[in-house]
């Protein structure tokens, strides 16, 4: 009995140590979430304004042409997926990667029909295990990623579309709703053909010409959307981690209460048994 009590006591201590770690991780994730959320929200006005200007040029200037605005026959598709580098984030990566797999299986019959650009070690490892066609990858992003960190892969994805390497480009990432809600979303990034049909017009004067402005702005706009998705993904990652660690802390507390009750009962039973043995011994001496 004494051995059993010691084992329960060691188990309670082990769970308490684990709870201390998960609680600390929850607090750290909450702190990082606030910064990531602020970064994601700060990037939105810039992308919104750029969209307004690009849409105005595309819809208001007759005869303006650019490869990123033209719809083509879909022969090959590109996907850029944003995942995390680390685990302990609940279903953050699993849900997104499941969406990627379902999308690929429903649209394509062979691996020759698509290519992948992957941000995040979890997504990279998942795709490599399944021998999916990864064209480019970026891992090891900081908790507060800068545009320069993803500039290379974003520019490459946009450039390859403009060069005709594939005929459409989709962006898959986790959209941040709240600390407890993140939604895997898929959005078509290229072509930007819908812009020319939105009909938003503003009084801008262009130098040297609308085509010259689009030549610079369209790639930057597409790259900005990718960067915004990375920021949304970071906010979602920390929200998912905070929730996962909060649930782990709660479960650890419940386990501690359960084992403490078992420990107290076992200790009480051991004390009762010792008293019974003492009484029995005393009676035997009479």
Is residue 13 within 8 Å of residue 256, measured between CB atoms? no
**CA separation for the pair 75, 149 (Å, rounded):** 30
Question: Within a domain: residue 89?
Answer: yes
Question: Within a domain: residue 156?
Answer: yes
Residue 17, pLDDT above cutoff 90: yes
Model confidence band, residue 277 (pLDDT cutoffs 50, 70, 90): confident
Residue span of the structural domain in which 144 resides: 27-243
Q: Which residue has the higher pLDDT, 242 or 272?
A: 242
Residue 116, pLDDT above cutoff 80: yes
Residue 198, pLDDT above cutoff 60: no
Question: Within a domain: residue 16?
Answer: no
Question: Within a domain: residue 268?
Answer: no
Over its C-alpha atoms, the chain yields an Rg (Å, rounded) of 28
Question: Within a domain: residue 151?
Answer: yes
Tell me the per-residue pLDDT of 37-52, one tens digit each, with 9 for 90 and over. 888 888 888 878 877 7
Model confidence band, residue 213 (pLDDT cutoffs 50, 70, 90): confident
* Closest by Cα among 208, 206, 171, 231 to 54: 206
The rounded mean pLDDT for the chain is 87
Model confidence band, residue 201 (pLDDT cutoffs 50, 70, 90): low
Model confidence band, residue 168 (pLDDT cutoffs 50, 70, 90): very high
Model confidence band, residue 191 (pLDDT cutoffs 50, 70, 90): confident
Tell me the per-residue pLDDT of 63-107, one tens digit each, with 9 for 90 and over. 667 778 788 889 999 999 999 999 889 899 999 999 999 999 999
State how beta strands 168-178 and 181-190 pair: antiparallel
Number of domains in the chain: 1
CA dihedral sign, ordered 131, 222, 164, 198: positive
Residue 40's pLDDT is what? 86
Residue 197's pLDDT is what? 58
Question: Within a domain: residue 270?
Answer: no
Q: Which pair of structure tokens corresponds to residue 180?
A: 């407890």
Q: Which residue has the higher pLDDT, 250 or 53?
A: 250
Give the CATH number, domain containing residue 106. 3.40.1380.10
Question: Within a domain: residue 18?
Answer: no
């Amino acid at each position: 009995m004494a051995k059993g009590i010691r084992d329960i006591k060691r188990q309670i201590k082990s769970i308490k140590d684990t709870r201390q770690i998960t609680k600390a991780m929850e607090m750290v994730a909450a702190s990082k979430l606030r910064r990531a959320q602020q970064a994601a929200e700060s990037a939105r006005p810039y992308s919104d304004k750029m969209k307004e200007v690009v849409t105005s040029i595309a819809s208001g200037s007759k005869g303006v042409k650019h490869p990123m605005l033209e719809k083509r026959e879909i022969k090959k598709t590109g996907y850029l997926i944003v995942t995390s580098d680390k685990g302990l984030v609940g279903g953050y990566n699993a849900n997104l990667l499941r969406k990627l797999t379902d999308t690929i299986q429903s649209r394509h019959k062979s691996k020759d029909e698509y290519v992948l650009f992957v941000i995040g070690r979890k997504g990279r490892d998942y795709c490599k295990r399944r021998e999916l066609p990864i064209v480019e990858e970026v891992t090891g992003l900081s908790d507060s990623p800068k545009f320069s960190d993803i500039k290379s892969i974003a520019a490459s994805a946009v450039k390859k579309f403009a060069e005709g390497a594939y005929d459409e480009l989709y962006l898959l990432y986790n959209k941040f709703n709240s600390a407890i809600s993140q939604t895997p979303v898929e959005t078509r990034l290229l072509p930007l053909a819908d812009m020319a049909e939105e009909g938003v017009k503003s009084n801008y004067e262009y130098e040297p010409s609308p085509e010259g402005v689009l030549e610079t702005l369209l790639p930057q706009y597409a790259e900005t959307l990718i960067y915004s998705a990375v920021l949304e993904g970071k906010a979602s990652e920390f929200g998912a981690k905070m929730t996962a660690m909060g649930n782990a802390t709660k479960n650890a507390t419940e386990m501690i209460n359960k084992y403490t009750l078992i420990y107290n009962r076992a200790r009480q039973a051991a004390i009762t048994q010792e008293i019974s043995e003492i009484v029995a011994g005393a009676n035997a001496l009479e």
